[in-house]
Amino acid sequence: MSPWTTEAQREFLQSYVSSYSEAAVQKRYPKFFAGLYEKWFAEFPEDDASGDLTDIEDQPKSKAHQKRYNKEQVALRARLAIVAAQTGTEV
């Protein structure tokens, strides 16, 4: 099975494993993910459905936006957990 990340993405996520662990202990997920998302999408921009690059911070905070943000947060937590498992680091 091929990894879902590139080598650069895996290294990027690995650099945040200890910060995530600290945030988890302190239950400060929003602050952690806000900083991580900003850096992740600056480093690895993704296309939205229209094919245009967008900055979600410039969009209105609608229910749809919040739902998407929550979904992305869950996905990123899963990504961090996978990287931690692959590296033998606890999160």
User: Tell me: the pLDDT tens digits for 28-68?
Assistant: 888 888 888 889 888 888 755 444 445 555 555 677 777 88
Say if 23 falls within a structural domain: yes
Residue 57 lies in a domain: no
Question: Looking at the whole model, is its pTM more than 0.85?
Answer: no
The answer to the question of residue 39 being in a domain is yes
Within a domain: 42:
yes
Question: Is position 54 within any domain?
Answer: no
Tell me if 52 is assigned to some domain: no
| Per-position b or e across 56-76, b if 16+ CB within 10 A of its CB | eeeeeeeeeeeeebeebbeeb
Its domain, for residue 29, covers: 7-47+64-87
Q: Which residues pair with 47 in a beta bridge?
A: 53
Task: Note whether 68 and 76 are within 8 A (CB).
Answer: no
Residue 34: the pLDDT is 86
pLDDT recorded at residue 65: 72
Q: Please report whether residue 17 resides in a domain.
A: yes
Q: Which residue has the tokens 């202990």?
A: 25
Number of independent structural domains in the chain: 1
Which pLDDT score, from 0 to 100, does residue 2 have? 67
* 74 is a domain residue: yes
